[in-house]
Amino acid sequence: MIKNVDDSFCGESEKNDKIGATNYLIPTQDSVKYKNSTKKIKLLVCFIQAHIGGAMTSLVNFLNALDTDIYDVDVMFYENDGRHGIKESINILPQGKIHKSFTLSNILQKIVSPAYIWAAMQDVYYKNIKHNRRKAIQIMSKQGCKYSRKLDKEYDVAVAYEFTWCMNYVITRVKARKKILWHHLDFEKSGMDFKVDEKSLDTADALVFVSKECMNSYGQKHPKYINKLNFVPNILSSDYVRAKGDE
C-alpha cells in the first residue's frame, strides 16, 4: 500500500552511497572493531507506512546505505505490504498494526479505556473544529502504539524515522540502549504541538535533523535540547538516481 501524502518534507541531500549516519550511530573508530567481530550492532528503524514523499525516499536510501557487516538491521512499518526497494540484507519485520478497526474485541478493548476515549474526543475536536489534522494524529498515535505488535528483542539503537506512531512506539514500546528521533518536518510550521510530544523528546537520546535551517530554528525555540541536536543530510544514492532516470 503506497499512499501519496504531503509530509511537509524539508531537508538537504548529499549524493553518497555510504552514509555518514553509520558514523553517527557508532563512532568511526569503532567501525573496524565491528567489521572484525561476529557481533553486530542491533538496529531497529521504525516508519509509519510506504508513501510517495521525501521521507520515504530518504528512508530507502538511508537503509540501503547502511553497512550490514556492522549492523543487524530490523525495520518495522506500522502498515506494510512490500520491500519498496529496500535491499535484501535488511530484515523487514511484520507490520506493527495488528488490530482490525471494527472487530468486537478491538472495540470493547478501547471503549473501556478512559485514555482512549479522551484521545478520541480530542481527535474529533482538533480535526473537525480546529482543523488541525497533525495535532489530532499526534494525540491518537499515542494510543495506537499501545495496540501495536510487541517486540521482545533488545536493540543497541532504535530509530524513529518519523514522528507520531514511530516516535511513540520507539520511546514507549522498544527496549534499546539508545533512542534517536529523526526530524523531516519543520516542527513549528507543521501544525504539530510541542507540548504533546515533549515527554518523548525529553526521553530521546538524540534528535536528528535533515535540514540545518530546521535544526537551528528548533534549537532557538527549545534550547534545552541543544546538546541533543544533530544534522545528518538525506542520502541520495547513485543507484537511486540511475533507477529514477530509467523510469
Residue-wise pLDDT for 113-169, tens only, equals 888 888 789 888 888 888 888 888 888 888 888 889 999 999 999 999 998 999 999
DSSP string, 57-89: HHHHHHHHHS-TTTEEEEEEEEE--S-TT--TT
Neighbours of 109 (CB within 10 A): 14
3-state secondary structure of 95: coil
Confidence of residue 20 (pLDDT cuts 50, 70, 90): very low
Residue-wise pLDDT for 61-84, tens only, equals 999 989 898 899 999 999 988 898
What is the average pLDDT score of the chain?
81
Assessment of whether the complete model's pTM goes beyond 0.75: yes
Cα separations in angstroms, 126 against 95, 129, 133, 166, 227 = 28, 6, 7, 21, 33
Averaged pLDDT for residues 180-207: 89
What is the H or E stretch that residue 157 is in? strand 154-160
3-state secondary structure of 47: strand
Give the separation between CA 44 and CA 71, rounded to whole angstroms: 10
